[in-house]
């Protein structure tokens, strides 16, 4: 089996012509997995079942959003890459159902064309990350997690809104839900002051 054009290699003298004609009896062209994406769900379920049998563990199911994300991947390694991914998920996914948050990093965030995941898939992704962070902090004995995570949450939203508005603070505040009443309640230059508070908090975390 080969993915190379043997006619070209014969013409360039890199492959023996007599051997080419001896082998050139029946040709089967197997399309790449990305050219038959409709086969991915059935193949993945088969590989998940086989991996579970080999490892002696229950077969995992897969959420529709995770399946949709896998179907968008280009799979340069074709079926072998899909099989290895099924083995990885069987071992690494913590629950009985595989979600978007359980996918390997190279498969979980963006499609090969750079198109962002759906809002629901992204929500599943970051809430899964947040839960893992909370689990780790609780296991470490931390308390008042909302006071720790809240400013980071605000800061992240505000940075995204400022980027979207080209640095216009009042528009950014409105976009993230800091309405007119909230801003007036803070007093003059409140968005600027709030930005400084959040920035100071970020520096404290870095230290």
Q: What is the pLDDT of residues 114-123, one digit of tens each?
A: 444 555 556 6
Query: Are 54 and 86 within one domain?
Result: yes
Q: What global pTM score does this model have?
A: 0.46
Asked whether 121 and 127 are in contact (CB, 8 A), the reply is no
Residue 136: pLDDT band (50, 70, 90) is confident
Query: Are 136 and 39 within one domain?
Result: yes
Residue 107: predicted pLDDT? 79
Query: Are 23 and 4 within one domain?
Result: yes
Query: Are 78 and 130 within one domain?
Result: yes
- Per residue in 84-102, pLDDT (tens digit) is 999 999 999 988 999 888 8
Query: Are 69 and 161 within one domain?
Result: no
Confidence check: pLDDT of 110 > 50: no
- Please provide the average confidence, as pLDDT, over all residues in the chain: 77
Domain that holds residue 12: 1-30
Range of 37-51, 146-160, 173-187 with top mean pLDDT: 37-51
Query: Are 173 and 110 within one domain?
Result: no
Query: Are 125 and 154 within one domain?
Result: no
Q: How far apart are CA 35 and CA 59, in angstroms?
A: 27
> Long-range contacts: 34-43, Cβ < 8 Å, 24+?
34/73, 34/74, 34/75, 37/71, 37/72, 40/67, 40/70, 40/71, 40/75, 40/82, 41/67, 41/71, 43/79, 43/82
Q: How far apart are CA 178 and CA 165, in angstroms?
A: 15
Percent of the chain topping pLDDT 90: 20
Instruction: Give SS3 for 70.
Output: helix
Residue with the bigger pLDDT between 175 and 61: it is 61
Number of domains the chain contains: 3
Range of 37-41, 48-52, 172-176 with top mean pLDDT: 48-52
Q: How far apart are CA 13 and CA 96, in angstroms?
A: 55
CATH number of the domain where residue 61 is located: 1.10.8.60
């Amino acid at each position: 089996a080969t993915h190379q054009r043997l006619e070209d290699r014969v013409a360039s003298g890199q492959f023996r012509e007599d051997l080419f004609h001896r082998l050139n009896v029946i040709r089967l062209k197997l399309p790449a997995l990305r050219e038959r994406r409709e086969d991915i769900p059935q193949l993945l379920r088969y590989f998940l079942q086989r991996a579970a049998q080999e490892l002696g563990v229950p077969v995992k199911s897969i959420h529709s959003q995770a399946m949709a994300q896998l179907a968008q991947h280009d799979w340069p390694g074709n079926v072998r890459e899909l099989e290895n991914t099924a083995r990885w998920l069987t071992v690494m996914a913590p629950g009985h159902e595989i979600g978007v948050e359980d996918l390997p990093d190279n498969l979980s965030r963006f499609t090969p064309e750079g198109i962002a995941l759906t809002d629901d898939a992204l929500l599943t992704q970051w809430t899964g990350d947040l839960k893992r962070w909370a689990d780790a902090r609780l296991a470490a004995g931390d308390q008042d997690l909302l006071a720790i995570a809240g400013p980071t949450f605000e800061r992240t939203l505000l940075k995204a809104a400022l980027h979207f508005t080209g640095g216009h603070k009042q528009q950014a505040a409105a976009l993230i839900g800091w309405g007119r009443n909230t801003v007036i309640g803070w007093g003059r230059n409140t968005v600027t002051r709030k930005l400084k508070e959040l920035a100071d908090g970020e520096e404290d975390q870095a230290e």
